[in-house]
Amino acid sequence: MSSSATHRGAAVVEVTDLHKSFGSNHVLRGLDATIRQGEVVCVIGPSGSGKSTFLRCINLLEQPTSGSIKVGGEEVTDPDCDIDAIRRNMGMVFQQFNLFPHLSVLDNCTVAQTTVLKRGKEEAETKARDNLEKVGLSDKADAYPAQLSGGQQQRVAIARALSMDPKLMLFDEPTSALDPELVGDVLSVMRRLATEGMTMFVVTHEMAFAREVADRVIFMDGGSIVEEGVPSQVIGSPTEERTRVFLQRVLDPTHVDPGAEDEAHAERHRAAAAAAGSTPGVPLDPQR
């Protein structure tokens, strides 16, 4: 859990009754959430539960269908809101790194500084090198993304985001595209950011990270927030049955839910009956 986080901190993000639909697909169903200064909030849940869409709505990479999102007290869904100014205070780290392949590591970390923040080249390079050192890649400043491992590319992406001096970091499953042996270095960088008091909103499948680092955990399913609380409660002793089933499957892959096992057995029986020309539910003739 981050050392400087406090639930008494000012609200950085306030989400109220957030809905998002893609055509007839209702992806987010009335979400309410608050992220406070210095907090690390981890969002967990099965694939397709709306986690990434929720995160992407915060900086309007996805336009909400309805509801309110305030960042630093400003309503970002207001047509008069300067969303570019809001985004300057938010760092975003994607699943697939999204580095510019034709730019060096150093240039990847300076281009937004010089074009968006209008920093001078020397100041931008100093900031970039400081953040590359923070993520353990000071020796890779002149390398190109194709010369780096996936884990190194993701750490460059973090350094790039930090170089913009964000007040909030958004992480969209930052380790999901990495080989298992490369995950640790990225999580170590994120742990360090948490101890330094960075406000972080993290969509993740890394349960150990969420348990160790998060101040709060949100469990989502079916586009809704099913359960929310401190890690020891949500992950260690969930109150909702859906949360419990999800965690059993994630934390103990060998666990088989009895109901699912019975249904799988019934499905195998139906398939065998169909293949033999029998009616499901009617015992097969052993002589056939």
DSSP track, 181-232: HHHHHHHHHHHHHHHTT-EEEEE-S-HHHHHHH-SEEEEEETTEEEEEE-HH
Q: What letter does residue 242 receive in the DSSP assignment?
A: H
Task: From 271, 272, 211, select the one nearest 236 (Cα to Cα).
Answer: 211
Beta bridge partners, 16, equal: 68
User: Would you place residue 9 in the very low, low, confident or very high pLDDT band (cuts 50, 70, 90)?
Assistant: confident
Specify the higher pLDDT residue, 252 or 47: 47
What pLDDT sits at residue 177?
87
Residue 254 confidence (pLDDT): 60
Name the DSSP letter for residue 103.
S
**pLDDT mean over 218-234:** 97
Rama region for 243: left / alpha / beta (φ>0; ψ in -120 to 50; rest): alpha
The answer to whether 37 and 199 have CB atoms below 8 angstroms apart is yes
> Could you give the residue ranges of the DSSP H alpha helices within the chain?
51-58, 83-87, 105-115, 121-134, 150-162, 180-195, 207-213, 231-234, 241-251, 258-275
Spell out the domain ranges in the chain. Answer: 92-166
Over residues 105-132, the mean pLDDT reads 97
Average pLDDT over residues 149-154: 95
Percentage, residues of the chain above pLDDT 70: 85
> How many whole angstroms separate alpha carbon 199 and alpha carbon 209?
15
255 has pLDDT over 70: no
pLDDT band at 201 (very low <50, low <70, confident <90, very high): very high
Which is more confidently placed, 269 or 61? 61
44 closest CA partner among 238, 194, 177, 269: 238
Average pLDDT, the chain: 89
Distance of CA 52 to CAs 47, 49, 57, 117, Å? 9, 8, 9, 27
Model confidence at 282: pLDDT above 70: no
118-137 core/surface letters (b: 16 or more CB in 10 A; e: else): ebeeeebbebbbebbebbeb
- What would the two tokens of residue 126 be? 């100093």
pLDDT in tens, 27-43: 999 999 999 999 999 99
Calculate what percentage of the chain has a pLDDT beyond 90.
81
